[in-house]
Amino acid sequence: MKRASFFPLDIGSRGSCTVGGNVSTNAGGNRVLRYGMMRNLVLGLEAVLADGTVIDATHKMTKDNAGYDLKQLFVGSEGTLGVVTRAVLALHPKPSSQAVAFCSVPDFSCAIELLLFLKGALGGRLSAFEALWSNAYALILESVPRVRAPLPVGSPLYVLVESLGSDPRTDVPAFEKALEVAPENNWVTDVVIGRSTREMRALWEVRDAVSEAVLKLRPFISYDVSMPVGAMDLFASSIVERTARDWPGAKIGLFGHIGDGNIHIVTDIGADGTPRTVVDEFIYDATRAARGSISAEHGIGFQKRAWIGHTRSPQEIALMRAIKRTLDPDCLLSRGRIFPIDAAG
């Protein structure tokens, strides 16, 4: 019998992105919790260097310790080291069961308890654990009228939970049973379970609508930071509190993949004339204090390159520049991305 397979990367730009872009940004998205980032899904690739050399590393092995893992040099390098022209991707068995629930959660610690519990209760089937802070939930509901609120506003946090499995007869009841236990432990205050494909899609649409909601922000500024999961709660509350104090009219929304320590922040701070660099400094200083990264899944690009020192040590940056100089001495590829255009742009 031929088994159906699928490629599990699922990101907000799924309708427009390319494999080359996914490789070059090491894209993440909604199902990293279960399947890993693009880095974990690339078995091999072909890349063309600045001098025209074709590096054929289209290997198909999972285990391959014959020297440096050259394909990983190109994953996440934002086109600065070579142009990715082919990729060998790892497929996974296509799931035959899906279960989705949307929960209101009293606080961040309950969300983490729920995550740990579901990881154990669902085994490897837990495929997404997506959080919306109350501010992001409100932003979606007021900006995207077609989205119906699955639960009332007012909870500090909302979590979308998904399980993907291979046996609908047992997976869905196990999912529902696990979510029955959660309120008993006070980890969630309310739960809506999608009972059909249409209802599950509607729950996902709430989470996905955030990309549409942000388009109403003027100016629209977004951040994509990561940090140890234990630091996220303090980080999130400090950001929200300072915004309310220093920019009382501003909107801010937090959402993200909390199982991966990834928070996205969207805001219109700056409508009052506050320069972008002041807002960047506010967010990136807080990220550094949390020992986090200024880019979880969107890369550095031109916008964040001035802040790379908040995340990487001088020695790490020097090594990155040395690799860039070796592979692209004339700085022909993606000039100015990641590093300023001087010694090794």
Ligand X SMILES: Cc1cc2nc3c(=O)[nH]c(=O)nc-3n(C[C@H](O)[C@H](O)[C@H](O)COP(=O)(O)OP(=O)(O)OC[C@H]3O[C@@H](n4cnc5c(N)ncnc54)[C@H](O)[C@@H]3O)c2cc1C
- Could you tell me the smallest distance in angstroms from the CB atom of residue 81 to ligand X? 8
Q: What minimum distance in Å lies between the beta carbon of 63 and ligand X? A: 26
Q: Which residues bind ligand X (CB under 6 A)?
A: 11-13, 16-18, 20-22, 24-25, 27-29, 78-79, 83-84, 211, 297-298, 334, 337
H/E stretch holding 45: strand 42-48
Q: Kind of pairing, strands 252-257 and 157-165?
A: unpaired
Q: Which residue blocks in 28-81 are alpha helix, DSSP H?
A: 32-35, 38-41, 71-74
**100 vs 191, beta carbon nearer ligand X:** 100
**Is the Cβ of residue 134 or residue 211 nearer to ligand X in the bound state?**
211
CB of 313 to ligand X, least distance (A): 23
Element (H, E) at 255: strand 252-257
Residue nearest to ligand X according to CB distances in the complex = 21
Looking at the Cβ atoms of 164 and 188, the one nearer to ligand X is: 164
Least CB distance to ligand X at residue 177 (A): 30
Q: Which two tokens stand for residue 312?
A: 């990487």
Contacts 24+ apart (CB under 8 A), 203-206: 203/100, 203/101, 203/102, 203/150, 203/160, 204/100, 204/160, 204/162, 205/147, 206/102, 206/132, 206/137, 206/140, 206/147, 206/149, 206/150, 206/160
With respect to ligand X, which residue has the nearer C-beta, 11 or 174?
11
Handedness of CA 116, 117, 122, 126 (dihedral sign): negative
Which CB sits closer to ligand X, 20 or 309? 20
Cβ–Cβ contacts within 10 Å for residue 332, how many? 10
Of 76 and 155, the one with the shorter C-beta distance to ligand X is 76
Q: How far is the CB of 321 from ligand X (least distance, A)?
A: 17
**Shortest distance, CB of residue 195 to ligand X, whole angstroms?**
26
